[in-house]
Chain A
Amino acid sequence: MLQGALAGLAAGGLYAVLAVCLTLMSRLVRVVNFSQAATGMFGGFVAVWLVTETGLPIWLGSVLGVLLAGVLSGVIGWIAATWLSEADTTTRSAMTVGPLLLLISLSFILFGNKPQPFASIISGPAFTLGGVVISQVTLVTVSLAIVVAVAVRILLTRTAIGTRLRALSERPTTAELLGIPSKPLSIAVWVVTGVISAIAIVVVAPTQSNDAISLAMLIVPAAAAALLGGFKRLDLAVVGGLVLGVLSGLVAQIDEVALIRNFLPFLFIVVLLLWTQRKEVWDAAR
């Protein structure tokens, strides 16, 4: 049982990284980015192609794939900052469904619909805990989630650029009237979150289902994890991701309930929504 729970931590770390990126995007550029995992997926697929078809070393192919994911994310961010800068969060979020579907379709056309032969960048056990082996992938993804969350918090609260980003997220027009350039800062947030997401996906992809749909749809558990923090709190986003990963690992160990593993993020979302909305009066909430 413990082995199963800890095995789920690798996926949980990935969910947590993506949830942190989603939370960051929601807070700073007012968007729930449905293409968050898809850009990482596409960058990862290009990395696989570069390694298998052109003979590049794994590390170089991975770096190029991650950079491509950052550029793709930046392009989507440029679209949002150029044409949807005054739009509400719903409209901006809906726009990101377009790139999600485009990147899935493009990956089908370019790479087929089969799982990709990702080569492991990191593999093997890291250490043993209570007789259970913790893999290096688990260690890296969980550490990455925590490091990113802490680094982002420090950036936002202790640096001038973080203050500017928070100002932009709260009153974009007022911030611009003070001379704060919203467009480059917004695009930078898109690029950075795109790169971070891609790193996590490239690290974890060899250890799990890695066809285009499976990787792009990592957005669902990531969104469920981000929902725990209300798309505002980075610490709860990390906790949400790890809890979801551990729960998935646990459920997979129990034959009677193993079937609900795929529905777990959905159940997680429903339970969270019911809990957070428990005091709402129907008319007032809607």
Chain B
Amino acid sequence: MSALIIDDVAVSRGAGPVIQGVSFTLEQGRVTALVGPNGAGKTSLLDGISGVAPISAGTIRLDGTPIERLSRVARAKQGIVHIEQGRAVFPSLTVRENLSLTARTPAEVDAALARFPELEKRIDAPTALLSGGEQQMVVLARAFAARPRFLLIDEMSLGLAPVVFMRLLPIVSEIAEQGVGVLLVEQFTHLALGLASEALVVASGQVSFQGPAATLREDASLLHRAYLGGAPA
């Protein structure tokens, strides 16, 4: 079983660390929810793991091998796929072309499409012409076609109608069930906790809670304290 170990990681932007002292292990086949108030450093942490931003302290190990000095391209090739905030489609590329960027064979394109039948009738349309929900489906399908070992998802619900988001959420579970370790950053905290087995709450750049997602689901006051930075890590 592959593991992505984040050990005492800090990510700095400009003057100082945005988030620091983060340690956790992402295991394949499990969903970990990363929640917290706006500006807590969730996106910066994902950027640090995928290589969009350099980490300023700590180590990131994939199966025991340090990867924090690798480029984002090299990390992607090791199986760490990062879905950025917003709808990270390539607008002029068709749905098929978007999927072919990560799928190695036409069969892999078909497998990705099988999860999103809605996309099949738009397969040759430029993704710029798709609805927001369809664009996010393209992003998820493209990530799935990449055969990731670890999937970092940043605010998938951003700008989507709740009904569309609820359509996408089970797909994340299905991807995890296929052996992918998922780190899910989400503003809809309860939905994310409902999906995850583990949870981290970050507030003011520090981890304020770390443990089973069920604990937070069942204890609203603990979740509130963690959001305010008061719960024990």
| A residues in contact (CB < 8 Å) with B | 160, 163-164, 166-167, 170-171, 173-182
Q: Which residues of B contact A180 (CB under 8 A)?
A: 73, 101
With known contacts A173-B52, A177-B52, A177-B81, A182–B73 Cβ distance under 8 A: yes
A163 partner, pick from B73, B81, B100, beta carbons under 8 A: B100
Interface presence of B7 (CB below 8 A):
no
Interface presence of B125 (CB below 8 A):
no
A179 touches B97 (CB 8 A): no
* Interface locus among B30-38, B85-93, B198-206: B85-93
Q: Which residues of A contact B100 (CB under 8 A)?
A: 160, 163
B73 touches A170 (CB 8 A): no
| Alpha-carbon separation in the docked complex, A242 to B83 (Å) | 45
B81 touches A167 (CB 8 A): no
A177 touches B90 (CB 8 A): no
Q: Restricting to B156-200, which residues have a CB under 8 Å from any CB of A? A: none
Q: Which residues of A contact B90 (CB under 8 A)?
A: 166-167, 170-171, 174-175
**Residue among B73, B97, B146 with the most chain A CB within 10 A?**
B73
| Shortest Cβ gap from B105 to chain A (Å) | 12
| Alpha-carbon separation in the docked complex, A173 to B50 (Å) | 11
Interface presence of B149 (CB below 8 A):
no
With known contacts A163-B101, A164-B101, A167-B101, A178–B92 Cβ distance under 8 A: no
| Shortest Cβ gap from A196 to chain B (Å) | 23
B93 touches A177 (CB 8 A): no
With known contacts A163-B97, A163-B101, A164-B101, A176–B92 Cβ distance under 8 A: no
| Alpha-carbon separation in the docked complex, A177 to B47 (Å) | 10
Instruction: Please encode chain B, from 87 to 114, with 1 for each CB lying within 8 Å of some chain A CB and 0 for all others.
Output: 0101111000110111000000000000
